[in-house]
Structure 1
Amino acid sequence: MPESVPFWFAIAVVGYLGYKLARPPMWLVIVLLIAGFLLANSFLAPVIESGTTTGVSVVTPTTQP
Structure 2
Amino acid sequence: MNVELPLVVVLGLLVWGAIKFLGVRVWLVVVIALFGFYLADTFLAPAIDNGTRNGVETVNGNHD
With the length of structure 1 as denominator, give the TM-score of the two structures. 0.66
Higher relative contact order (CA 8 A, sep 6+): 2
> What are structure 2's unaligned runs of at least 5 residues?
none
Matches within 5 A, 1:1-65: 7=6, 8-62=8-62
Contact residue 39 and residue 45 of structure 2 kept, 8 A: yes
**Distance of aligned partners of 1:49 and 1:63 in 2 relative to their CA distance in 1, 3 Å threshold:** closer
How many residue pairs end up in the alignment?
A: 62
Amino acid paired to 1:18: A
User: 1:9: Cα distance to partner?
Assistant: 4.5
Change (3 A) 1:33 1:16: same
Listed as ranges, the gaps of 5+ residues in structure 1 are none
Aligned pair in 2 of structure 1 residues 54, 10: CA closer, same or farther (>3 Å)? closer
Task: Report the aligned-residue RMSD.
Answer: 2.5
Q: State percent identity of aligned pairs.
A: 32
1:8-55 CA-to-partner distances (Å, cap 9, x unmatched) read: 445433322221111113442232122111011111111000000111
SS of alignment partner, residue 33 of structure 1:
helix
